[in-house]
Structure 1
Amino acid sequence: MSYDPEQDPEQRRRVRRDYRDLAKETENVNPAEYSAVDMSRRLLRANDLFGQVKGTQEATLDSAFLVMASNMSALKARSMKTTAGAFDVEDFIEKLISFMGGNKATGEPTEEGVEADDTVPLKWDKIGRKALAKSRRVPVMDFMLGPLSVEQKKRAQSKRTRLEKRTEDLRQPQEITEEDIQRSENETTKNVANIQRILDAHGPANLFKFIINPDDFAQSVENLFYLSFLIRDGCCSLDVESGEPIISGVEKPTQKEYDDGLTRRQFVFEFDRETWQRAKDLYGITECIVPARHKDSGVTKITGKKGWYG
């Protein structure tokens, strides 16, 4: 197939239509009601159509038809034994082994009058001469060797190892009551209020210079997270008309202003480590406007007790 984006649209539509008609004819046929000649005729027709294929969509239709034809042929092959009853694979293999001087299941003598032995190799050259009379293909060294010499292996049943629990390793869950938990204010609400207080005191600032902590990427993400609450509530504005993202604190709009047509706009902001590093290099950020917060040591706030996972 040679790709041609300038192919005549009418010819392209005709090829698609013919492929769909061919697939519909093949799909709606019972495998028992068509012969190998019918399938060969459809494949030749598809081969002629493929000569007109110049685009990817038409090539996809051709591939879909070949998959369908393969499945239909496989169904036809599987139904040969049940419908015609003319070919038995086991009987064929047994006679083939006998013809090559192998051991038969009945223990009868071979064609040459000598009873076969398991230690005697099969005479592949004998069947090879018969096969060469019917085929023009060059025989390879593993011709017909393999399916007759492979023994079906039984799957070994693995024994499941039983997990034994050691009593000395078991730990009783620590009971926590309401009195053990310190009542503290919500950290998110506290940090959002702190961000608003810093923004109001500092005035308009570059978004990246305001939120980025040059020494801590995680806290830079947290600062952007807390700032998003202020934008959501209308307490902070973001202006990009000057070419830089400038944030500034504003008075929270009233419900009347919203009723008069004032709207809030929010958007998704992607902030990864690469953006964090590029912003530091671009704006020369060496210190953060928002002071660094004390990192949590990871100990749970339980009065007089260690952490739950301690």
Structure 2
Amino acid sequence: MARDSLNSQNDNIYDPDQDPEEKRNLRRQYRSLYKSTTEDLQDHAKDLTAEQLVEKVKQSDSLFDRVKGTAEATLDSNFLLAATQMGAAKARAMKAGAGAFDVDDFVSRLVTFMSRNQGVAVPEDLDSDNEQDYSGEPLDYARIGRRTLAKSRRIPVMDFMLGPLSIEQKKRAVAKRATLQKDEREKKKPQEITESDITRSENETTKNVATLERILQQQVGKTNLFRLIINPNDFGQSVENLFYLSFLIRDGKCALEFEHGQPVIYVSEQPSEEDYAAGLRKQQMVMEFDMATWRRAIEVFDIQEAMVPQRPKSIMRIGGKWYG
């Protein structure tokens, strides 16, 4: 089909800056094609000819020539799925002679053909009134393969067929579950925790963000990101420092830039509503910071002391009692 030739071209590459009007027009045409196809599948599946179905696929091919985004590619795959369902419906509606095509009869004849002894000649029409039991013999797939190769130029592969022809249906064993009777005397009412039992603590995140902001304001000029956040003695607090720094960047109180391949942080003036109205946009990024990066940064930048003071380990306190 035409899709095979498109794969060898470099025109269908991802382009996030594709003209929005062109993308809207492309989506509109795809939805119209998909709607007409699904309506034909529901209402006129028997009246639709194979030529009309091929014509719809060709229209999809011409639209796919202009696809450069994932949303349009999804619409294309939805249409191909609908066209495949329509093709399957047409195949089921095919007539062979006076009756419909019987899949079970075809499989039965196929098993019979592959179960014949090699020395017995098999008639071309495979019509025989002699019923034999070949269930104990292995199926000779090579025999049907030689017949198929005479009609096809495709290279045979291991997974060409969709599984074995004879499948034993597994019966699910129903296990009887015994009802567990609990002794009412063993039940214990949980202890109630009152508000006085819970020791309230201040918001640690807000406090640590303010501490990091104060340290940044004391610095002159730009500061290396890793020198600021890394605690050479505690990897966990280094990750926490990066977390707290993200709040300052989000609020525009400091800025992140790259100079000579190194990330630097400096204090900036917080943008106002007028700045956002003038076109200023927030940008987000995801930074990976694992223990290997932490150790490498300590070695490269020779970090001996932490700029952010070591924080004591936080302890969760609930009144000093044990509840169980």
Give the alignment's TM-score, normalised by structure 2.
0.49
C-alpha offsets along residues 281-307 of structure 1, whole Å, 9 cap, x if unaligned? 44233432112222234xx3222313x
Shift of 1:28: 7.4
Aligned mate of 2:125, from 119, 134, 139: 134
The answer for the alignment partner of 2:320 in structure 1 is 304
1:71 lines up with 2:75 in the alignment:
no
Shift of 1:152: 6.2
Q: How does 1:63-212 map to 2 (within 5 A)?
A: 65=83, 67-74=85-92, 76=93, 132-135=123-126, 141=140, 155-162=172-179, 165=182, 172-204=189-221, 205-212=223-230
Q: CA RMSD in A?
A: 5.6
The answer for the alignment partner of 1:16 in structure 2 is none
The answer for the alignment partner of 1:270 in structure 2 is 286
1:280 lines up with 2:298 in the alignment:
yes
Task: Mark the structure with the bigger radius of gyration.
Answer: 1
Structure 1, unpaired ranges of 5+: 8-19, 101-122
Give the whole-Å Cα distance in 2 for the aligned partners of 1:152 and 1:220. 58
SS at match of 2:254: strand
Compared with structure 1, are the counterparts of its residues 203 and 270 closer, same or farther at alpha carbon in structure 2 (3 Å cutoff)?
Answer: same
Compared with structure 1, are the counterparts of its residues 167 and 217 closer, same or farther at alpha carbon in structure 2 (3 Å cutoff)?
Answer: farther
Q: Is the 8 A contact 1:214 1:288 kept in 2?
A: yes
Q: Is the 8 A contact 1:180 1:303 kept in 2?
A: yes
Q: Which structure carries more relative contact order (alpha carbon 8 Å, separation 6+)?
A: 2
Give the whole-Å Cα distance in 2 for the aligned partners of 1:54 and 1:304. 72
Compared with structure 1, are the counterparts of its residues 161 and 232 closer, same or farther at alpha carbon in structure 2 (3 Å cutoff)?
Answer: same
Shift of 1:172: 3.5
SS at match of 2:228: helix
SS at match of 1:240: strand
Q: Is the 8 A contact 1:182 1:301 kept in 2?
A: yes
Q: Is the 8 A contact 1:203 1:249 kept in 2?
A: no
How many residue pairs match? The answer is 239
SS at match of 2:226: helix
Q: How does 1:35-46 map to 2 (within 5 A)?
A: none
Shift of 1:151: 7.7
The answer for the alignment partner of 1:289 in structure 2 is 307
Aligned mate of 1:5, from 9, 18, 30: 9
Aligned mate of 1:220, from 225, 234, 238: 238
Q: Is the 8 A contact 1:5 1:55 kept in 2?
A: no
Q: Is the 8 A contact 1:31 1:72 kept in 2?
A: yes
SS at match of 1:132: coil
Structure 2, unpaired ranges of 5+: 12-32, 67-75, 128-138, 145-163
SS at match of 1:220: helix
